A and B are shown apart, each in its own frame.
Chain A
Amino acid sequence: MSIRFSLFSFVSFLLAAVLLLPYVTPWHMPAEWAIWVPIGLIFTTMLTQLEATQLLRQLAHWKYAAQQLPVDSATEVAAPLPTEPTVAPAGSPEAVQLLRLFQEEGRLVDFLQRDIQSFPDDRVGAVARIVHQGCRRVLQDYFEIVPTVSQGEGERISWTPSELGTHIRLVGQSGSSTATSGTVLHRGWTVQRATLPTVLHSASADSAAVLVPAEVEVTA
């Protein structure tokens, strides 16, 4: 977010300078630069849009987190305790936390950091079992993930305009712009519940960046 923001400021500044300088200084914009003005405008507009999307996402996340607290189902056993929203250190602690869980349970970072091109499929397969078993456990323990739509692949489905873009994404042939039904190619996934471990204490910036510590054995 911060990188994008500074880029946005920089481009806006340039654009403003190019447009305003002719009025306050004897400098005149060369004619061949004219093409860059609309491009700059489009670019800044896009960045502004991205900022807005980011903001909306964050709002939706807070709304979701707020909705998540009351647990209705009686068989629900992992009800989250109401806790204070934690202060985020630099970076994104949830992202680091999720990566930590995937690494500790399923060695995901070890796996992805390695170039696997040179290994035959059976070796990759053997390692994939470790990654799959552990990461799957993380998904099962901390998330409840269900298909977005109840229809199976290949089945017909219809939608309302408001679902388009959120629950339904058209691919391939879109048909007429008023089409409201089609065939499911992928059911999508929806997170019904996400209860990552509660952060008791926001670590200092340098320790928050430690995904997993080095493992060392005391030897004589």
Chain B
Amino acid sequence: MSTPTQLQYGIGIDLGTSNCAVGLWDPKEPSHTVPLVQLESPGHQVTQALLPSSLYISLDGELTPETGRLPWQTAFTGIVGGEFARKRGALLPERYIASSKSWLCCDAVDRTAPILPWESPVATKLSPVDCAKLFLEQLRESVVAFRPQALQEAEWVLTVPASFDEVARTLTVEAAQAVGLSITLLEEPQAAFYAWIAQQGDAWREQVAPGELVLVCDVGGGTFDCSLIAVGADHGDLRLDRIAVGPHLLLGGDNMDLALALSLQQELQSKGTRLDRWQLLALIQQARLAKEQLLGTSPLDTITVSLASKGADLFASTVQVEIHRQQVVDVLLEGFFPHVAVIEKPAEAAKGGVYELGLRYETEPALTKHLARFLHQAWENAQAHPEFAALIEAHPDGFFRPHKVLFNGGVFTSDSIRSRMVQVINSWSPEPVQVLDNPQLDLAVAIGAAYYAHSKATGEGVRIAAGTARSYYLGIETSRMAVPGWQPPLKALCILPQGTKAGDVQELPARTFGLVTGQPVTFRFFSAPRRAGDETGSWVEDAEAELEEGPSLQSTLSPGDGYEKGALVPVTLQAHITEIGTLEVTLQQVQGSRRWNLAFNVQHQR
């Protein structure tokens, strides 16, 4: 990599669940997005600000290298990403991959195995990591087409949901590296906040005050992601700390469009009109537009939409549907953004029983309930750590009340949805919350990431301090006396406490492990989102009950200097967050300088 002084501008990649965007921040020009090159139809290419995160596996012979290959592709694989994939995939669902990013964070499957399109009979399948690679390659080449020297001249930042687990982060980084990108990770809600700072210029300092909490609420096409940022004072300047991130929730704008379309379909059916599947597809698209027109700035009371089927005779197949504002309010506002008391908890998915393998969609659609729970959990977590004592004192009711809120994501284009969210948050607090202006709901993450990339490259500008949102543990088998029928609980050792910042190395010198060379070493790996009080070296007595288990960490130690195969090597353990934002666990030889990295074993799903 080139030295930091050579980097002149920042590139921010928003690898979204439904759409990708790339921002460019160059102090010499106003911020903007990079046009993204993609296939529009066979033989036709377009450039646009958004690249739909859709992949389509074309039929044999449907596309030729001449009609399907983008300028930089040397070979044509038959797999297409972007606009054409989105349009074509809707008509051939078995060959369509959507929301591959949600699969990247799904620990119930092997994320490196070719499993997508999910449950499809097609012969060619891709792993969630392959999908990320394909999008990243397309984005990289679009940037290079726009700025040929960008790989040398720019600092690159890639955003991930704040709720992405350490494995999903590692896999995202690996996908980027596989296509030749050196990137740093940034959490999406933080990126949205950077976009706000970038747009405000120095005036942002006037709009927030020390002691305030900013809630960033990001509702994308398929996910709901939120973070709390605390504003503090530091030597006369403001400092920003990301103190809490919400859970990973598969609930977003697409769910809303589908809910509205299904409710309209049901109503039509009760009046005797049956929709065929093409008309239903059209209705889902119309639902998205209806959301904007009926819940917008100057909302209409009723809109009429027409749904065409296949067949050239539009007159024979067109069904007309009237959508009333009240219906949309009932389905969307009352369904997804209901007025709830702050103590109301989301309905939990039924525990136990047999799950269908696949994405774990939320069973509770009420975003406001998820938000209320997040504000409680963030408070409970902060309570365990002395660093947050002042904040806890300022919020004595068992949950955090945000002073400012920044909305992000296309869903908030609707005025009514924004104001409903504000009403609900205000009902939890005597002080009205202030909304921070976000004029680019779809592009803010990319722009903010580019701003951060530039600030990282040059050292100029504001930075949000953000440590790990979770604490991490290794399961340690302890020797106990054998008792028939009784399995001793697994103890876990904290290797990285919550809030650890990139570069802080956590050593466990007090504990030495004996490792056998030439044999695979496996540690069970755990994490916890709300154990702020744990420190490096703390023990958790019953790991399986108190912590969440992730994929195991493993390594095979090749015999080192002076050790025979099968020899016992004494090592200590080190864990740290790398500069690019991934977790790294290292074994360090006690007498000597050899180090072994432990890697996540994602092949063995739980």
Contact = CB atoms under 8 A, between A and B. Distances in A.
Interface in B301-322: 304-308, 310, 312-315, 318, 320
Interface string A104-146: 1001001101101001000100110111000000000100000
A74 B29 contact: yes
B562 interface: no
Contacts of A127: 306, 308, 314-315, 318
A74 B312 contact: no
Nearest to B278: A215
B124 interface: no
Nearest to B24: A74
Contacts of B45: 197-198, 200
Contact of B318 (A81, A126, A141): A126
Interface residues of B, number: 37
Contacts of A78: 35, 46-49
Contact of B312 (A76, A100, A110): A110
Contacts of A74: 29-32
A77 B312 contact: no
B315 A104 contact: no
Contacts of A110: 312-314
B29 A81 contact: no
A5 B45 CA distance: 34
Contacts of A215: 91, 310
A200 B47 CA distance: 13
B604 interface: no
A79 B47 contact: yes
Contact of B145 (A81, A111, A116): A81
B30 A126 contact: no
Interface stretch (B36-44, B262-270, B337-345, B518-526): B36-44
B66 interface: yes
B43 A201 contact: yes
B297 interface: no
Contacts of B152: none
B44 A197 contact: yes
A219 interface: no
A114 B44 contact: no
Given A79-B35, A126-B320, A114 B43 contact: no
B96 to A, nearest CB: 16
Contacts of A200: 43-45, 66-67, 69-71
A116 B316 CA distance: 12
Nearest to A82: B145
B146 interface: yes
- What are the 10 A-B residue pairs with the smallest beta carbon separation, nearest first? A197-B44, A201-B66, A77-B49, A74-B30, A129-B306, A197-B40, A127-B314, A126-B320, A198-B45, A126-B306
